[in-house]
Amino acid sequence: MTSTPADRRPVAWSVGARVRTRHSRDTDLAPEQWPVVSGVIVDDFGDGADPADSEYGRDWAHKRRWAIALDSGSLIFRNDAELAPDS
């Protein structure tokens, strides 16, 4: 979700940008079935070298780059590849 359709260059995200991403509280739904929702990036946790998933010793609560306040009021965390510009 990080390329613009017109030129395929990566989007440069920043705090304050409006974005779209998939999100659902339904744990039975597969992530690709989650609805697309909109929100605003409210914090940037940096793009430092992330350890591989296996280095965490768990498969949940991994580090994410962006904090996003959804229009619904929820706060979620996503990486660049999980975002698209909100037009």
Domains delineated in the chain: 1-47+63-87 (2.30.30.140)
pLDDT at residue 12 above 80?
yes
The amino acid at 10: P
Of 19-23, 29-33, 56-60, least confident by mean pLDDT is 56-60
pTM beyond 0.85: no
Instruction: Give the mean model confidence (pLDDT) for residues 49-74.
Output: 76
DSSP the chain: --B-TTT-PBP---TT-EEEEE--S-TTS-GGGSPEEEEEEEEE-----PPPGGGGTSSSS---SEEEEETTS-EEEE-GGG-EE--
